[in-house]
Amino acid sequence: MKTIAAVVHEKDAPFALEEVELDELRDNEVLVRMVATGLCHTDLSVRSQVIPFPLPAVLGHEGAGVVEAVGSAVRRVAPGDHVLATFTSCGECPNCAGGHPAYCHDFLPANLLGGTRPDGSHTMHQDGAPLNARFFGQSTLARHAVIDERSLVKVDANAPLEMLAPLGCGIQTGAGAVLNVLRPEPGSTLAVFGAGGVGLAAVMAGALSGAANIVAVDMVPARLELARELGATHTIDARSTDPVEALKGLSSGLGVEYTIEATGNIAVSEQAVGALAPLGTCALIGAPSFGATCPTDVNFMLNGRRVIGITEGDSLPQVFIPALVRLFQLGKLPLERLIRHYPFEQIEQAAADAHAGVTIKPVLVFD
């Protein structure tokens, strides 16, 4: 079938709303009519080729919509179901089998670097030429998308899809880092470096954990104020204050038990590591450029300090995303404080606002 998609033809080119043709469904694929999709910095990083996903391409990886058709082997969803889209995985490697699909052996080619099905075929064409799509198993910057069954999570038909779309990546990443991996003990301190969408999701999750102190670190006063409203007990303005010294000041000079680096900035990563107490853990969840390195004093690490990387909140999406939906419905995950909606036709404005930091989480809405 034909649909309208936002096509990126070359590096730094604008999103062009153009007609494209979707391939016939394979056995494990689903046709979804999009209702909304988040616009993430990862999409913008591909457009600028910081992430080398092949162009021309259709991106988008925080989709929400309604199932229109399913392949013959699909069992998780049926036509008419309301669904959220997230990352894909092979389902067969040891990590997938062990309940950690975010660490699938094929994660990078299947989600971030490929653009095709595993057999090299394309899910999308334009004027007879192949388009790179299947971004995170979905490519939802389009009115319709062919999506991997493993990328889909069925949700309550009464749940507002235009509010829940970011759960597929950004919110899942920040909240999962706290709730699935770090799991702060009662009385502990969690410091979150970066109060964008991912970092604020970590702040909200921290408020649901046992952490006694939740510290947000950023350079934008409005975001620090929002972090306080979402559960931060302390804020640090990194423009005028050394975050490492400030965090040590909160902990009798020892440092803190947990830090999260959510900016992708290497200098900030060094701060997040340097603020750790003995036996403390730093979680790296930002997305720096490929090949970026962070110098570490090995002697500093010998006191049991750990640095771990976390992808997609180490989530099992079919379990974790419905749990996040329920938290939203209960008013415990106020996503509305982060989201600004844009018509699909205003995708360039949404991208500009996200790049400028004017909007924390842009969500495109389809009519």
Walk along the chain (367 residues) and give the pLDDT tens digit of each residue: 999 999 999 999 999 999 999 999 999 999 999 999 999 888 998 999 988 899 999 999 999 999 999 999 999 999 999 999 999 999 999 999 999 999 999 999 999 998 999 999 999 999 999 999 999 999 999 999 999 999 999 999 999 999 999 999 999 999 999 999 999 999 999 999 999 999 999 999 999 999 999 999 999 999 999 999 999 999 999 999 999 999 999 998 999 999 999 998 899 999 999 999 999 999 999 887 777 888 888 888 899 999 999 999 999 999 999 999 999 999 999 999 999 999 999 999 999 999 888 899 999 999 8
- Give the pLDDT score at 289: 75
DSSP conformational letter for 185: P
User: Closest Cα partner for 292 from 313, 271, 259, 269?
Assistant: 269
CA torsion through residues 353, 355, 359, 363, sign: positive
CA–CA separation, 173 and 162 (whole Å): 19
Angle at 329 between CA 337 and CA 311, to 5 degrees: 70
Pure H helices in 133-184: 161-164, 170-176
User: Closest Cα partner for 149 from 76, 61, 66?
Assistant: 76
Domain limits, CATH 3.90.180.10, in the chain: 2-168+334-365
- Give the pLDDT score at 293: 84
User: Closest Cα partner for 315 from 203, 204, 172, 151?
Assistant: 172
Residues in CB range of 252: below 8 A, 6 or more apart = none
- Check: CB of residue 215 under 8 Å from CB of residue 190: yes
Q: Give the predicted TM-score (pTM) of the model.
A: 0.94
- What tokens were used for 298? 């090995």
DSSP lists the bridge partners of residue 88 as none
- Give the pLDDT score at 288: 77
Per CATH, the architecture of 2-168+334-365 is what?
A: Alpha-Beta Complex (3.90)
DSSP, collapsed to helix, strand or coil, labels residue 339 as strand
Q: What is the dihedral of CA 351, 43, 273, 300, to 10 degrees?
A: -150
- What tokens were used for 314? 């180490």
Domain limits, CATH 3.40.50.720, in the chain: 174-311
- Give the pLDDT score at 201: 97
What burial class does residue 294 get, using C-beta atoms within 10 Å of its C-beta: 0-12 exposed, 13-18 middle, 19+ buried?
middle
DSSP, collapsed to helix, strand or coil, labels residue 280 as strand
Q: What value does the CA radius of gyration of the chain take, rounded to a whole number of Å?
A: 20
Kindly report the length of the chain.
Answer: 367
- Check: CB of residue 8 under 8 Å from CB of residue 17: no
User: Closest Cα partner for 167 from 198, 208, 141, 194?
Assistant: 198
- Give the pLDDT score at 50: 87
- What tokens were used for 243? 């975050």
Looking only at the bridges linking them, the beta strands covering 234-237 and 213-218 are parallel
Q: CATH class for domain 174-311?
A: alpha beta
User: Closest Cα partner for 176 from 323, 288, 25, 65?
Assistant: 323
CA–CA separation, 24 and 30 (whole Å): 10
